[in-house]
Chain A
Amino acid sequence: MGLTGLAIFKELPKKNCGECGVPTCLAFAMALAAGKASLESCPYVTEEAKEALGSASAPPIKLIKVGAGDSKVVELGDETVMFRHDKTFYHPTGIAFEVEDTLDEGALAARLEQINGLEFDRVGLHYTVDLVAIKNTSGNADTYANVVKKVADNTKLALILMSDDSAAMEKALEIVTARKPLVYAATADNYEAMTAVAKKYEAPLAVKGANLDELEDVVNKVVALGHKDLVIDPGSRETVEVLKDLTQIRRMSIKKKFRPFGYPVIAFTTETDPMDEVLQAQVYVSKYASLVVMKTVEKQFVLPLLSWRQNLYTDPQKPIQVESKIYEIGAVNENSPVYITTNFSLSYYSVEGEVEASKIPSYIIPIDTDGTSVLTAWAAGKFGGDRIAEVMKELGIEQKVSHRNVVIPGYVAVIAAKLKEESGWNVIVGPREAAGISAFARANFS
């Protein structure tokens, strides 16, 4: 359980050199106690102190890396809050896709191609998936090793090896050890052998219990055997039960620093219909899974899930921004309309979507407002008529069009006069919400 700041302070070097990033050892001790700093930041701390402070200074949920080398490395865990509005979520849930070793050559190649193809571009962002989970369905160690090799040769994604049989696991692990795959899983029945294999190849290990009680028990046993790079699975598979276990694990590790549960958690979907499956996966992404293993590889289902993951893991304090420049939507010419918005990514892309839908080629100029939305930017003095006029000039929109009409968001109608005065352009007040742009454009520009 956590130590107080003063107890930690006693163990520190008391140099007050500030190299840890805060001015004094005392301040550093307080930050450690609050779980907001890591002991590694102090270069002078002694080995004895490290030993004494080990558990107190460790983050509530351990950071685990799966993958290595030039293949994908997925970082899991190290979360500090229950709700994103409390601070932020840091390490987006890794999305893994199951591959069974019973697939014939052609089917395996096809499935891998589909999984590798799960990359998406939308609103200026690039979404990717993270891992391939290879399941030893055949129960045969040679078949398994063979398929694991094929998968490893044909994907850059990180790997999860799934087998109950420690001999099959070792055979496969030997081949892909450089990829640092996640070994799934040590259970009450096989934990000794499985832990030995994972330790030998220095691979992160998943520990599975039949329920929370058994999970605690097996985790403690595995830790006692000297392996601490763990991912945990509470064993539940019904949606509402998984939600409960994931919530409890997160809560106990964050609020109580309950060590046996202070690891990233892996969850598995069970639904067979792709639509049902992504909604089930969504529950686990929303509430605290660090890894979700699923089957659906169809893009139309995976895209909404990845979009939700990206939304959820957006830092509430740091809005996503687009570059402030002239954007050309469609085949623009000198008569195309010009729209002004802010560089808050969502403002920009809402406008872009509607302008596109209007089917009238147009220019859009997002003004740099530090990523704030129209009203907030205006209230903060970052979206005034003078500033917009300046940006229009800097970017040279007057060389792109022969007309002198510019559309501003309806919410800032009050800046129209100033903008007109400063820019010499005729200012048209557009709709308040982006949703109105399409109709507005058709009424005014077609």
Chain B
Amino acid sequence: MAVQLLKERYASEVGTVVLGATKEQGGTRSVSLTVGGEAALPFQHYEGSIPNRPIIAIEVTDVEPNWPEPLKEALGDVIKDPVAWAKKCVDEWGADAIYVKLDGADPDGANRTPEECAKTVKDILAAVGVPLIVVGCGDVEKDHEVMVKVAEETAGEKLLMGVAEQENYKSLVAACLGNGHSVIARSPLDINICKQLNILISEMNMPTDRIVIDPMIAGLGYGIEYGYSIMERGRMGALQGDKMLAMPMICTVGFEAWRAKEAWASEADFPGWGAQKDRGPAWEAMTAAALLQAGANILCMRHPQAVKAVKKNIEQLMETK
């Protein structure tokens, strides 16, 4: 007797967002990428179409990052030069996109001007053909100026820019809207705030296919299960027809994973945890792969070895007969 598969019928599907614009589309990217669009739970291909694979954006900072030593060692000298770094991400490490973090804008740090920040972004655009995701330094005031400038200077490139939060989303959304970019809407582990923020952004006439949700995951071992469950609930909401939860999801995997001492602590300090050299990337890769099972569409990552392993995991999960 043949077993009857129990397929769910969903009312709707996840929305799509296009990253990057090619020449024909008004930008300079050699490729544009579509994320989202799945009509089933993650990788359940037999029950609905999953047209686009999750993508990996490798993180690049405009000033040398203050990251754990073992991570910096693995990346090498390029971390001193964002352009060379971005090129290496694409040419050698297989980045689908570059996730540019403009830490240099930080008033307590290098305090770079909006013009300088915009120049870095443009230099990276000139050096690589993949789409860019660009976020500010985290200082609300400064990010206003910086992101508006970056948005203007790169009009038409269809960047994905972040981050819009509930208390301050207007200036970033307006800048994205006016210059043909898309926006990251970040909400702190709360499905209602997530939805509310998407509504607010939509009310500014931003089309839903230019919004990506950042559910603010926590790291592996440090509360990742909260984000995982929020993502699963959000994804179920999307499939059941809630348009304001239906945007693709982006996860700051590298940032979260490398905060954990399990990723960077030396074997001398924690002999029971195994060799640091593989433990760091394994910690990051595990974080990313777990979130794929909850529906992540864009993974922002750091370590080349972790990227390689997660790419393989994605390939296997996207295999259809």
Q: Across the interface, do B317 and A304 meet the contact criterion of CB distance under 8 Å?
A: no
A57-65, A242-250, A382-390: which one contacts chain B? Answer: A242-250
**Chain B's interface: helix, strand, loop or mixed, by majority?**
helix
Neighbour of B282 across the interface among A212, A283, A304, CB < 8 A = A304
A356 and B259 CA atoms in complex are apart in Å by 12
Interface centre among A279, A304, A308, A357 (most CB of B within 10 A): A304
B6: chain A residues within 8 A (beta carbon): 248, 251-252, 255-256
Q: Across the interface, do B261 and A357 meet the contact criterion of CB distance under 8 Å?
A: yes
Mask: chain B, 292-321; 1 = CB below 8 Å from A; 0 = not: 010000000000010001101100111110
A4-12, A119-127, A195-203, A392-400: which one contacts chain B? Answer: A119-127
B228: chain A residues within 8 A (beta carbon): 84, 311-312
- A301 touching B282 in the complex, CB below 8 Å, given contacts A213-B2, A216-B3: yes
Q: Across the interface, do A305 and B286 meet the contact criterion of CB distance under 8 Å?
A: yes
In the complex, which residues 203-246 of chain B have their Cβ closer than 8 Å to any Cβ of chain A? 218, 220-225, 228-229, 232-233, 236
A357: chain B residues within 8 A (beta carbon): 261
Q: Across the interface, do B305 and A275 meet the contact criterion of CB distance under 8 Å?
A: yes
A26 and B133 CA atoms in complex are apart in Å by 59
B160 at the interface (CB under 8 A from A): no
Min distance, Cβ B139 to any Cβ of chain A, angstroms: 12
- A122 touching B262 in the complex, CB below 8 Å, given contacts A276-B312, A283-B317, A305-B286: yes
Q: Please, which residue of chain A has its CB at the minimum distance from the CB of B284?
A: A304
Q: Please, which residue of chain B has its CB at the minimum distance from the CB of A316?
A: B229
In the complex, which residues 170-217 of chain A have their Cβ closer than 8 Å to any Cβ of chain B? 212-213, 215-217
Min distance, Cβ B190 to any Cβ of chain A, angstroms: 11
Q: Across the interface, do B273 and A120 meet the contact criterion of CB distance under 8 Å?
A: yes
Q: Across the interface, do A356 and B262 meet the contact criterion of CB distance under 8 Å?
A: no
Q: Please, which residue of chain A has its CB at the minimum distance from the CB of B66?
A: A439
B142 at the interface (CB under 8 A from A): no
Q: Across the interface, do A243 and B3 meet the contact criterion of CB distance under 8 Å?
A: no
A30 at the interface (CB under 8 A from B): no
Number of A-B contacts (CB under 8 A): 159
Q: Across the interface, do B310 and A244 meet the contact criterion of CB distance under 8 Å?
A: no
B15-23, B41-49, B112-120: which one contacts chain A? Answer: B41-49
Q: How many residues of B contact A (CB 8 A)?
A: 52
Min distance, Cβ B54 to any Cβ of chain A, angstroms: 13
Q: Across the interface, do A307 and B309 meet the contact criterion of CB distance under 8 Å?
A: no
Q: Across the interface, do A304 and B312 meet the contact criterion of CB distance under 8 Å?
A: no
Min distance, Cβ A88 to any Cβ of chain B, angstroms: 10
Q: Across the interface, do A123 and B221 meet the contact criterion of CB distance under 8 Å?
A: yes
A305: chain B residues within 8 A (beta carbon): 286
A260 and B310 CA atoms in complex are apart in Å by 35
A307 and B2 CA atoms in complex are apart in Å by 38
Neighbour of B262 across the interface among A251, A276, A307, A310, CB < 8 A = A307
Binding site for A on B (CB under 8 A): 1-3, 5-6, 41, 43-46, 218, 220-225, 228-229, 232-233, 236, 259-262, 272-279, 281-283, 285-286, 289-290, 293, 305, 309-310, 312-313, 316-320
Which 5 A/B pairs are nearest by Cβ-Cβ distance?
Answer: A299-B274, A300-B274, A300-B279, A304-B286, A239-B316
